Amino acid sequence: MRDRPTITVVGSLNVDLTLRCDRLPRPGETVTGWDFTQRPGGKGANQALAAARLGADVRMVGRTGADAYAEVALRNLRAEGVDLSLVTQAGQPTGIAMILVDGAGENEIAVHPGANALLDLGDIDFGDADAVICQLEIPGAAVAQAARATRGLFCLNAAPALPVPPEALARAEVIIVNETEYAALPPTNALIALTLGAAGAVLLKDGEPLARAAAPTVTAVDTVGAGDTFVAAFVVGLVEGRKPSDALQRACLAAALTVTQQGAQTAMPTAAQVDDWTAA
């Protein structure tokens, strides 16, 4: 396997405002929470941090506002040594995610994109990055720009379930989705990693299963960030030279480790932690 693969993540930078409560409210209902936190988040930032912890050299491309939340959004990435030279500021607030988490770890999320909605890559050059990862929390035009600028593996995490730019769909070699996102995905020739929560994940090509991976049984504390950990772990595994089926299993293990702790970025495991659990 390769040492220190290089990955560029093009995506959202948010601050997660998380309220924990015994149960999620029904429509029109108010519930009282018992814990409130402000933590770095956003699918792009989460995937960049997870990839760095899993052994990659990572560059983040995104936008924040010129506000106090900008430093909150970037602090964990900076601490993990992620290259932030292509993170710029915009004339909108830093993106915000409002998250409710119940006692079983299930969540509801609403996002205000803020500066993320103004991301424009222009004539960016990704150089010889082994892989570029995009999600759909940034403008479709930026996703298409990333697809054009990618020389290595282009992975699209088609989340949330929004229309996919045709150029990005055609360029993507790997697409990662959950069941809701898969149902909204147009036909594609890409290798699809379909996540199934506690049931694990499956690799699909032209609608046919190629491999399956089971998820280990764990006690879920917080499911926020598990999908982002899966994306990072799967792509890191591929560019390290692992077989797709092995990368899929490792991604399931990494995601399962994430849900055993509170928070998204704070719960993402290192490569050594995944290795230790695999050995056990």
Of 35, 206, 228, 275, which is the active-site residue? 228
Catalytic (active site) residue 57: no
Q: Which helix (H) or strand (E) holds 178?
A: none
Burial class (CB in 10 A: 0-12, 13-18, 19+), 258: buried
Write b or e for each residue in 43-70: b if 16 or more Cβ atoms lie within 10 A of its Cβ, otherwise e. Answer: bbbbbbbbbbbbbbbbbbbbbbbebebb
- Rounded to the nearest angstrom, the gap between the alpha carbon of residue 213 and the centroid of all alpha carbons in its chain is 19
Give the sign of the dihedral formed by CA 64, CA 67, CA 73, CA 76: positive
66 closest CA partner among 34, 48, 92: 92
DSSP 215: P
- Residue with token string 């999320």: 109
What residues contact residue 269 under an 8 Å CB cut-off, 6+ apart? 53, 54, 229, 254, 257, 258
- Residue with token string 């119940």: 102
Tell me the catalytic residues.
228
